[in-house]
């Protein structure tokens, strides 16, 4: 079951906090003894006031700058910043647009517009503006960070990894960026790389509970459950009410095959939080592994009552139904699993297997071909497809399916042999 990893910073940090660091870099003045006499001076004063969190006075200063120079793109950008920081997104967007119309090369305006569009749920426009900001100032780590985080949230994973790799080079001491880099690498299938990134994040930010949790989940994936449990316990030290960390400890016990401890942990969590679907699911998986199928079925059904869109719960329940000879129910749950997750190769495999058992050979062929398309390295669907095609009387296609299955198994055996040889060296 996929665990929740990380929090996209562009969705959970106020616009003021997201942009304040950039504004502080622009600001060097601490105040003026006399009123500024130029637009540039008013802008400098406004930025100093903004750094002091005096938004009203800063807005007045930027408006004074614009009165002196109506074509000041920088003043329009700064006014837009204040509009955004004071929760006036429509007005902010208008000012950023005017700034860009005056100076299309003003990278900060593109960046600010990208962030406010992202927060206003305009992802396509946000990406376009953030990309422009990065193109105009490729050495700005903050710009690359926000673009990479947005790519990550949109599941554009290779692009996210690319941008965040540049961001950590430019801002190597920023723990938030390392944490986000770990998320991107983990979601892109680079588990070892994600562990490296998360370790760097917790080194830089020892009190970042999110990074500790992400590191723990990555360590579970690399079959280091004991180290993972240490990370989850650290999360609880930092945030005692973090129920997901409690669930994740049980998940680590489950991966360690310490089923009694896993079951005890999940039951303890559910005693205080019976509404947690993921805990019911994990408890169901642990009970299934102990062959306590009736209890497992009850927990999985409860998980689906709480979260009907939990594809893995449908799949696991379908496996129990298969073991019990309930093939109609197996088909129903496997269809639900693939409807919820169209790339669920194992569920397509089990759907095809159940349809074969029911005598629906055409349906089985369709499901098994989908399983092969999604998981071409798995020999199982090929072999089952070969059996179905033989029943249908298509001997040539059956032979080809069995041969493909044999080649897939040979590749797996070769990889296992190479790994064993490598470990002996």
258: CATH: 1.25.40.10
> How much is the pLDDT for 418?
55
Residues 6+ apart with CB under 8 A from 309: 340
Whether 356 is covered by a domain: the verdict is: no
Among residues 303, 326, 357, the one where a domain terminates is 303
* Residue 114 sits in the same domain as residue 232: no
**Confidence label for 110 from pLDDT (cuts 50, 70 and 90):** very high
Place of tokens 């080194």: 203
- pLDDT over 90 (residue 29): no
Query: What is the per-residue pLDDT for 296?
Result: 97
pLDDT at residue number 413? 74
For residues 120-149, average pLDDT: 97
Q: Tell me the HSE value of 77 on the side-chain side, using a 13 A CA sphere.
A: 26
Average pLDDT taken over every residue of the chain: 89
Q: Does any domain span residue 94?
A: yes
Q: How many domains does the chain have?
A: 2
Give me the pLDDT at residue 419, please.
Answer: 47
Can you tell me the mean pLDDT for 263-291? 97
Burial class (CB in 10 A: 0-12, 13-18, 19+), 376: middle
Q: Which of 252, 273, 303 is the last residue of a domain?
A: 303
**215 in the same domain as 121:** no
pLDDT of res. 50: 85
At residue 226, the pLDDT reads 95
Question: Does residue 25 have a pLDDT over 70?
Answer: no
In this structure, the answer to whether residues 293 and 214 fall within a common structural domain is yes
pLDDT at 266: 97
Asked whether the predicted pLDDT for residue 297 surpasses 80, the reply is yes
Predicted TM-score (pTM) of this structure: 0.78
At residue 55 the predicted structure's pLDDT band, cuts being 50, 70 and 90, is confident
Kindly give, in sequence order, each residue whose CB lies less than 8 Å from that of residue 240, ignoring residues fewer than 6 positions away. none
Q: Band of the pLDDT at 20, cuts 50, 70, 90? A: very low
Residues 110 and 221 occupy one common structural domain: no
Report yes or no on 29 lying in a domain. Answer: yes
- Asked if residue 241 belongs to a domain, the reply is yes
Instruction: Average the pLDDT over 134-141 and give the result.
Output: 97
Tell me what pLDDT residue 11 has.
35
State residue 132's pLDDT score: 98
Let me know if residue 310 belongs to a domain. Answer: no
pLDDT at 4 over 60: no
Q: Do 8 and 128 reside in the same domain of the chain?
A: yes
Question: What pLDDT band is residue 53 in, cutting at 50, 70 and 90?
Answer: confident
pLDDT at 417: 56
Check residue 63 and give its pLDDT. Answer: 92
In a domain, 276, yes or no: yes
One domain for residues 234 and 106: no
pLDDT at 51: 86
Query: Would 13 be classed as within a structural domain?
Result: yes
Q: What is the 3-state secondary structure (H, E, C) of the chain?
A: CCCCCCCCHHHHCCHHHHHHHHHHHHCCCCCCCCCCCCHHHHHHHHHHHHHCCCHHHHHHHHHHHHHHCCCCHHHHHHHHHHHHHCCCHHHHHHHHHHHHHHCCCCHHHHHHHHHHHHHCCCHHHHHHHHHHHHHHCCCCHHHHHHHHHHHHHCCCHHHHHHHHHHHHHHCCCCHHHHHHHHHHHHHCCCHHHHHHHHHHHHHHCCCCHHHHHHHHHHHHHCCCHHHHHHHHHHHHHHCCCCHHHHHHHHHHHHHCCCHHHHHHHHHHHHHHCCCCHHHHHHHHHHHHHCCCHHHHHHHHHHHHHHCCCCHHHHHHHHHHHHHCCCHHHHHHHHHHHHHHCCCCHHHHHHHHHHHHHHCCHHHHHHHHHHHHHHCCCCHHHHHHHHHHHHHCCCHHHHHHHHHHHHHHHHHHHHHHHHHHHHHHC
Q: Which domain holds residue 254?
A: 206-303
* pLDDT value at residue 34: 57
Please report whether residue 26 resides in a domain. yes
pLDDT band at 412 (very low <50, low <70, confident <90, very high): confident
Whether residue 209 has pLDDT greater than 90: yes
pLDDT on residue 35? 63
Is the pLDDT assigned to residue 331 strictly greater than 60? yes
Q: How confident is the model at residue 416 (pLDDT cuts 50, 70, 90)?
A: low
Is 94's pLDDT higher than 80? yes
Residue 391, pLDDT above cutoff 80: yes
CA angle 167, 173, 174 (to 5 degrees): 60
Chosen domain end from 303, 325, 347? 303
What pLDDT digit, counting tens, does each position of 334-366 carry? Answer: 999 999 999 999 999 999 999 999 999 999 999
Higher-scoring residue by pLDDT: 155, 14: 155
Span 187-211, average pLDDT: 96
Q: Is 80 exceeded by the pLDDT of residue 6?
A: no
């Amino acid at each position: 079951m996929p665990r929740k990893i990380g929090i996209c910073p562009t969705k959970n940090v106020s616009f003021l906090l997201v942009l304040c660091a950039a504004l502080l870099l622009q600001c060097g003045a601490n105040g003026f003894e006399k009123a500024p006499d130029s637009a540039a001076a008013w802008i400098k004063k406004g930025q100093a006031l903004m750094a002091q969190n005096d938004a009203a006075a800063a807005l007045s200063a930027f408006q004074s700058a614009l009165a002196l120079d109506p074509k000041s793109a920088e003043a329009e950008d700064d006014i837009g910043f204040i509009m955004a920081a004071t929760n006036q997104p429509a007005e902010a967007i208008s000012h950023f647009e005017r700034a860009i119309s005056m100076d299309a090369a003003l990278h900060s305006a593109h960046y600010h517009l990208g962030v406010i569009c992202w927060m206003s749920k305009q992802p396509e426009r946000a990406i376009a503006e953030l990309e422009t900001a990065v193109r105009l100032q490729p050495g700005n780590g903050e710009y690359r960070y926000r673009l990479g985080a947005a790519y990550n949230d949109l599941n554009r994973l290779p692009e996210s990894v690319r941008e965040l790799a540049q961001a950590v080079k430019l801002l190597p001491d920023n723990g938030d960026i390392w944490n986000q880099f770990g998320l991107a690498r983990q979601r892109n299938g680079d588990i070892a790389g994600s562990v490296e990134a998360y370790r760097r994040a917790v080194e830089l930010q020892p009190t970042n509970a999110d990074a500790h949790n992400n590191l723990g989940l990555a360590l579970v994936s690399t079959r280091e459950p004991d180290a993972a449990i240490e990370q989850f316990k650290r999360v609880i030290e930092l945030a005692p009410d973090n129920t997901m960390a409690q669930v994740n400890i049980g998940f680590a016990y489950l991966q360690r095959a310490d089923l009694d401890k896993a079951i005890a942990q999940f039951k303890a969590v559910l005693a205080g939080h019976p509404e947690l679907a993921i805990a019911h699911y994990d408890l169901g998986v642990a009970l299934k592994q102990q062959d306590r199928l009736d209890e497992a079925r009850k927990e999985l059904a409860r998980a689906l009552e709480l979260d009907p869109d939990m594809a893995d719960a449908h799949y696991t329940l379908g496996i129990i139904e298969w073991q019990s000879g309930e093939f109609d129910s197996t088909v129903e749950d496997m269809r639900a699993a693939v409807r919820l997750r169209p790339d669920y190769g194992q569920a397509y495999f089990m759907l095809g297997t159940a349809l074969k058992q029911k005598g629906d050979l055409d349906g089985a062929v369709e499901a098994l071909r989908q399983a092969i398309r999604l998981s071409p390295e798995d020999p199982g669907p090929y072999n089952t497809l070969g059996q179905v095609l033989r029943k249908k009387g298509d001997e040539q296609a059956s032979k080809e399916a069995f041969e493909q299955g044999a080649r897939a198994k040979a590749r797996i055996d070769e990889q296992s042999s190479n790994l064993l040889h490598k470990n002996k060296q």
